[in-house]
Amino acid sequence: MRPAVDRRIRVLIVRRRLEEVAATLVERATGRRPAQHRVVRRRLLLLSAGVPAERWPGVHAVARQAASVYEATSAVLHSNCAFGDVPEHLVREWEAVVVRAESECPAAGA
Amino acid sequence: MLSEVTFAEIADLVRREVERGYESEKQEGRRRLLGVVDGLAADEGDDVDARAVQGRTWRVAQIEVSGIGGISRLVPSPVTFLPVRGITVIRGLNGQGKTSLARALECALSGRRDLADEVSGELWNAALLTQGSAVGTVSVGLVSGSARLDVTVDFPRDGEAGIRAALDEGSGAEPVVLGSGWQRALAAARASYSYGALQSRLVESRALQGFLEELLLLGPAWEQVRAAVSDRAERATEAKRTVENALTAGKRREREIRERISAHGVVDPPPSILWPRVQAGLDADAWLRSLDLGAESNGSVRVSGDHEQRIADIRCALIDAEARLDLAEQALDAPGIAGAAHHIEQILAIDAIDDAVCPLCGAASAWRDHAREVVAGLRDRSEAAGLVMGALTDLRDWATAELEPLLASEITGGPEAELTAFREATAQGCHARSAAHACAGPLLAAVTSQPYRDWLETMRSWSQAAVAWRDELVTITRTCADVMRENMAAAADAGVWKKAQDTLDDLQLTLRQRRQDAVTRQMHAALTRMLPDAAVELSAIRHQGTIKQQRGVDVTLTIGGQEATLGMLSSGQRNALLLTPLTVLDGAAPFGFLVVDDPVHALDDTRVDLLAQEFSRLAGERQVIVLTHDPRLEEHLRARHADLTVVELYRDPVARTVSWTRHTEPWQSLLDDAREIRKSATTDGWAYTEPLMSVVAGLCRTAVDGAIRQATITRAVQRSEDVEQALTDLADALTTGARIKLVTASAGGKTELPALERARAGHLRFWNEGAHGQLDETVDLDAVLDVTEAACRELADHDWAQG
C-alpha cells in the first residue's frame, strides 16, 4: 500500500477513535450512548470534567488537543483544505494525542 | 518576451554604423568590429552542436536520476512526461526529492555541477552525490517533433562531469556534442527557475537586483562579441604597453650607461639613440639600421691586441738589418766602392784575361777571386740597406695605423715628440743611414719603454670599457627591436580596437535602454497581474553607472503612488515580485519547457490563484513543470487545466529511493485507492483496527468533498469570481450534504448534476455513517464506488463558466 494511502487511513482511524472517546464521555456523563457522532469537539472537552483540581490543567490540555486534532482530521477528510498528503510526523502526533485522550477515558480505548 | 540579441542583429547594427561613417580610425574600428561579429556568426554556424539547437523545440520526455542529492534511484525509472505544452505538477512533502529532481535536470542539461553551488553554495555541492555514491548519473530524454535527444551526465565524486548526448532524427541515435551553442541557448532560455535559488539571494544585499541584472543582459551573443573585442583590444593595448615598456627600459639603461661614460670623463660617448614613438608603420629593422652603433661609433681608440708584438717585431727586424748592414760595410771598409765593383764585374766577365795575372798591375795573383769577394760584399751591403729600409717603412706604417690614433685620444702621454721627428724624417724616405733611420731608434726606444707600456695599459682599459658600453647599447637596442618585431603588428591596432570598443559601447547604450524599457514594461504588467490589490507599481528598472563602471540595477517601486523599497512589501508580496521575472523570459526555441521549483512561499489563496494564472498563460506556449509542496497550487492549476498531470513523489528515507505515481485528479486517486484497498483486503487481509467498509466509506466521502472543493475553485476561476470567498462559503457548509446542496445550487439545480444527486440520494447516508463507524453492512461497495466516481466525474466535467 502506498504510504500516502496508509496515512490517510490512519487519519480516518484517528478520527474514529476520537469519536469513540467522545461517545464514551457522553455515555459516562448521561448513562446513555449517543446515537450519532455530533459536536464531537465539544464532547471531547468532557475529558476534564470532574477531574481533581491538581490534574485538571493537564487533562484539560489533552481534551483541547484532542478537539484540535479532530478538527484537523475533519479538514483533511472533508477536503476543507487542499487535497494533499499528510506528513507522517503529523499523523504520529495525532495518534499520540488519541492515545493520551484514551488513557484519560479507559473504556473508549478498550 | 525578451530575446537574446543575435549575431545577425549585432552585425546589422554595426553595418549601419559603417555605412554612416567616414574614413577615420573609428571607421576602421567599426570595420574590425564587423569582422569580429561576422567571424563569430560563421563559427556559430559551423558549431558541431547546431543540429541539437537549430529548429528545435525540446520538451522533457523523461528523467532518470541515480545517486544525486536525495535520490539514490527512482522507482520506477525513469519519470516520464508528456512532451507537450501544458502543465505537470510534481508534488510531494518536503524532503521527498523534488528539488533534487529539479537540480539534477538543470545540472544534466548544462553538464555543470557548480550550478548547484550557485543555488546553495558548498553545502549543496557536498551533497550533490547521494551519500555513499561514487558517481551520480542523470539522464534526460528530450523530444522535439520526431527527433529525440538523450543527454546523460555522470558526476563523479571527484573530477569533472562527463556529458554524453545522442540525437535520433529517425535514422538511429548518433552522438552529438553539446558545445557552446547549446550552452548559450540554455543560458538564454533560463529553462530552469528555482525560486529557492532566487530567494537565497535575498540574504545578500543586492537581492533581486542580481537577477534583474541577468535579465537586462543582452544575451550570450552580445557577451561573446564584447569579450572578443575586449580581448583584441586588451591584446593590442598590452602589446603597445609591452613595446612602450621596452622602449622606456631601453631609454633608462641608455641614460645609465651615459652617466657611467660621463663619470669616466675620457672616452667620448657614442651618439645618442633616437628612440622611436610607438605608432603604426614603425619598422624595427629600419630603426636599428638608422642607429650609428658600429665598432668605432663611440669615438674612442682601440689598442690592438698585438700592439706590443708588432713593435717588438719591427724593432727586431731593424736591429737585425742594422747589424747586417754594419757587417757588410765593415767587410767592404770602403764606402763608395760600389761603383768600382761594377767595373770589376765587367772585367771579370772577360775570359780572355789571364786568371793568374792582374790585368791592371800585371802582378801574378788570383785577381779574379779578389774581385769576386768585393762584388759579393757590395751586394750584401745593398741587401742589408734594403732590410733597414723595410724595417723603417714598417715602423712608419705601424706608427700611422696604431700609434697616431692612440696619441690623438684624450689620454695624455705617449712618444709624441719621437713620433713627430720620425714622421718628418720619413717624409724624406726611409733609407738606411738616412734621417729616418736616425729617428727610428729614439721612437723604438720610446715605444718599448716602461712609461709607454703604462700609458698603453691605461689606454687599453678605457678602450675595453668603451667597447663594453657600446656592446651594451647594441644589446639594448636589439632587445627593443625584438620586442617591437614581436608586438608592433598588434600594438599598432590598439587605437583601432579602442574605437571598436567605443562603437560597441554606443550600441550597448542604445540596446540597454530598449531592454530596460522592455523589462520595466513587462515586469510592471506582470506585477500588476500578481498584485492587483496592493497598488504596487514598478516604474523603472535601470542600470546604474556607466557601461564600464556598472553599479547594479536600480528598481523604482511605488506603493499607492508613494516611492517605496522592497523592504516595505510583505513577504508574500515580495515573493510575488520575485516570481514576476518568470513572465518576461523568452519561451522561444530550442527549449520549449520551463521547470519551476517551489514557487509558492507565503502566498495567500488569491496570490496562489494569480500565480496559477501566470503558469497557465506560460503553459499555452511551453511545457511547464512545477515542483511544489503546496497542494493549493495544484488545485488552482486544475481549475484552469482539466487535464493537469500530477506526479507525486515519495522518498523512502532509509533506502533513499524515490517512488513516483501519476495522478489525474485527487478524487480519482482516492477512489482508485479505495478500490485497491478493497481488493487487497480480500487477498492479503486487513491490518487496520477500523473496518474496511468504514475506510472505503471515508475515502468515498473525502473524494466527493474533494471534487466539490475543486468544482468550487474551478467555478470561481472560470467566472472570474473571488476564489478565496468561494472557499470560505464552502467551508461554512459543515456537512457533505450541505456542500452538495451548495454546489448543486451554483450549478443551476439538481438537473444539472444528476449523477451527484443520485449519489446523494442513494449513498450520502452510507458515506456519513460509514465514515463514522455506523455501518450499513448490506451496502454493495463496488456500486457505491461506481456511483461516487460518476458523481465526482460529473463535478469535474461540468462547464462551470455557464450559469
- Judge: A9–B709 Cβ closer than 8 Å, yes or no: no
CA distance B747 to chain A (A): 20
Mean pLDDT, rounded, for B228-243: 90
Minimal CA–CA distance to B189: which of B589, B767, B729?
B589
A39 touches chain B (CB under 8 A): no
Q: Which of A10, A79, A95 to mutate to test the interface with B (most CBs of B within 10 A)?
A: A79
Report the range of poorest mean pLDDT among A71-75, B457-461, B522-526, B577-581. Answer: B577-581
Going by the DSSP 8-state scheme, the letter that residue B167 receives in this structure is E
Residue B757: inside a domain: yes
Cα B436–B441–B444 angle (5° rounding)?
A: 110
Residue B32: inside a domain: no
As a whole number of angstroms, the distance between CA B165 and CA B175 comes to 6
As a whole number of angstroms, the distance between CA B553 and CA B652 comes to 44
A3 touches chain B (CB under 8 A): yes
Mean pLDDT, rounded, for B564-568: 75
CA distance B550 to chain A (A): 46
As for the ipTM of the complex, it is 0.85
Residue B121: predicted pLDDT: 47
- Which stretch of DSSP H or E encloses residue B260? helix B220-264
CA distance B708 to chain A (A): 9
CA distance A100 to chain B (A): 18
Residue B297 binned pLDDT confidence (cut-offs 50, 70, 90): very low
Residue B126: predicted pLDDT: 46
- How many CB atoms are located within 10 Å of the residue B397 CB? 14
Alpha carbon dihedral B716, B667, B658, B124, in 10-degree steps, equals: 20
Q: Which of B426, B461, B496 is the last residue of a domain?
A: B461
User: Which chain A residues are within 8 Å of B773, Cβ to Cβ?
Assistant: 16, 19-20, 37
Minimal CA–CA distance to B368: which of B353, B389, B382?
B353
Tens digit of pLDDT for each residue in B388-401? 999 999 999 999 98
Residue A109: predicted pLDDT: 55
User: Which chain A residues are within 8 Å of B680, Cβ to Cβ?
Assistant: 1
- Judge: A5–B677 Cβ closer than 8 Å, yes or no: yes
- How many CB atoms are located within 10 Å of the residue B326 CB? 12
- Judge: B694–A79 Cβ closer than 8 Å, yes or no: no
Mean pLDDT, rounded, for B397-412: 84
Residue B100 binned pLDDT confidence (cut-offs 50, 70, 90): confident
Going by the DSSP 8-state scheme, the letter that residue B595 receives in this structure is E
Select the residue of B680, B690, B710 nearest A12 (Cβ to Cβ): B690
* Residue with more model confidence, B588 or B141: B141
Select the residue of B632, B650, B705 nearest A3 (Cβ to Cβ): B650
- Listing DSSP states for B518-565 in one string gives HHHHHHHHHHHHH-TTTTEEEEEEEEEE-STTEEEEEEEEEETTEEE-
Tens digit of pLDDT for each residue in B36-72? 988 888 776 555 466 777 778 888 989 999 988 778 8
Mean pLDDT, rounded, for B365-372: 81
B437 touches chain A (CB under 8 A): no
As a whole number of angstroms, the distance between CA B710 and CA B702 comes to 12
Residue B708: predicted pLDDT: 93
Q: How far is CA B111 from CA B67, B103, B160, B161, B534, in A?
A: 16, 11, 9, 6, 41
Mean pLDDT, rounded, for B357-374: 81
B706 touches chain A (CB under 8 A): yes
Residue B487: inside a domain: no
Tens digit of pLDDT for each residue in A74-106? 888 887 776 667 778 889 999 999 999 999 987
Look at residue B151 and tell me whether its pLDDT is greater than 80.
yes
Select the residue of B91, B689, B695 nearest A84 (Cβ to Cβ): B91
Tens digit of pLDDT for each residue in B651-660? 888 888 999 9
As a whole number of angstroms, the distance between CA B256 and CA B271 comes to 14
A41 touches chain B (CB under 8 A): no
Amino acid at B222: W
Going by the DSSP 8-state scheme, the letter that residue B400 receives in this structure is I
- Judge: B774–A36 Cβ closer than 8 Å, yes or no: yes
Tens digit of pLDDT for each residue in B420-473? 999 999 988 888 888 889 999 999 999 889 998 888 888 877 777 777 878 888
Minimal CA–CA distance to B501: which of B119, B236, B759, B306?
B236
Residue B383: inside a domain: yes
Residue B159 binned pLDDT confidence (cut-offs 50, 70, 90): confident
CA distance A53 to chain B (A): 33
Nearest residue of chain A to residue B608 (CA atoms):
A82
Given CA atoms B118, B121, B124, B125 in this order, what sign does their dihedral have?
Answer: positive
CA neighbours within 13 Å on the CB side: how many for B590?
23
Query: Which residue is listed with cell 499523523?
Result: A91
CA distance A83 to chain B (A): 6
Segment 659-688 of chain B within 8 Å of chain A by CB = 661, 666-667, 670, 673, 676-677, 680, 688
Residue B200: predicted pLDDT: 56
CA distance B5 to chain A (A): 43
B694 touches chain A (CB under 8 A): yes
Phi, psi of A15 (to 5 degrees): -65, -45
Residue B803: predicted pLDDT: 61
Residue B63: predicted pLDDT: 94
Going by the DSSP 8-state scheme, the letter that residue B423 receives in this structure is H
- Judge: A2–B661 Cβ closer than 8 Å, yes or no: yes
Q: Which of B429, B461, B493 is the last residue of a domain?
A: B461
CA distance B684 to chain A (A): 11
Select the residue of B635, B677, B702 nearest A82 (Cβ to Cβ): B635
Residue B77: predicted pLDDT: 87
Residue B736: inside a domain: yes
Going by the DSSP 8-state scheme, the letter that residue B357 receives in this structure is B
What does the mean pLDDT of chain B come to? 81
In terms of phi and psi (left: phi > 0; alpha: psi -120 to 50; beta: otherwise), the region of B610 is alpha
Residue B366: inside a domain: yes
What ranges do the domains of chain A cover? Answer: 3-109
C-alpha cell read off for B261: 661614460
- Judge: B708–A8 Cβ closer than 8 Å, yes or no: no
- Judge: B635–A13 Cβ closer than 8 Å, yes or no: no
* Residue with more model confidence, B549 or B258: B258
Q: Which of B461, B486, B519 is the last residue of a domain?
A: B461
- Judge: B705–A37 Cβ closer than 8 Å, yes or no: no
Alpha carbon dihedral B147, B149, B150, B151, in 10-degree steps, equals: 180
Nearest residue of chain B to residue A75 (CA atoms):
B731
Q: Which of B96, B635, B680 to mutate to test the interface with A (most CBs of A within 10 A)?
A: B635
Residue B737 binned pLDDT confidence (cut-offs 50, 70, 90): very high
CA distance A79 to chain B (A): 5
C-alpha cell read off for B455: 700609458
Select the residue of B666, B731, B736 nearest A83 (Cβ to Cβ): B666
Residue B204: predicted pLDDT: 45
CB neighbour burial string for B462-474, b if at least 16 within 10 angstroms, e if fewer: bbebbeebbeebb
CA distance A59 to chain B (A): 25
Q: In which domain, by residue range, is B384 found? A: 307-461
A89 touches chain B (CB under 8 A): no
Report the range of poorest mean pLDDT among B76-85, B209-218, B607-616. Answer: B209-218
As a whole number of angstroms, the distance between CA B565 and CA B559 comes to 9
Residue B766: inside a domain: yes
- Contact status, residue B596 vs residue B714, Cβ threshold 8 Å: no
- Judge: A12–B709 Cβ closer than 8 Å, yes or no: no
Q: How many domains does chain B have?
A: 2
Query: Which residue is listed with cell 516604474?
Result: B539
- Contact status, residue B652 vs residue B114, Cβ threshold 8 Å: no
Phi, psi of B604 (to 5 degrees): -80, 175
If 0-12 CB within 10 Å is exposed, 13-18 middle and 19+ buried, where does residue B51 land? middle
Q: Are strands B162-168 and B173-175 parallel, antiparallel or unpaired?
A: antiparallel
Residue B691: inside a domain: yes
Contact pairs from chain A to chain B, CB under 8 Å: 85
Q: How far is CA B240 from CA B139, B230, B237, in A?
A: 50, 15, 5
Amino acid at B150: D
Residue B347: predicted pLDDT: 82
Residue B396: predicted pLDDT: 92
Minimal CA–CA distance to B145: which of B120, B112, B168?
B168
- Contact status, residue B736 vs residue B701, Cβ threshold 8 Å: yes
Tens digit of pLDDT for each residue in B170-209? 888 888 888 777 877 777 676 666 665 555 554 443 445 5
- Judge: B694–A36 Cβ closer than 8 Å, yes or no: no
In terms of phi and psi (left: phi > 0; alpha: psi -120 to 50; beta: otherwise), the region of B533 is alpha
Tens digit of pLDDT for each residue in A19-63? 999 999 999 888 888 887 788 989 999 999 888 999 999 999 999
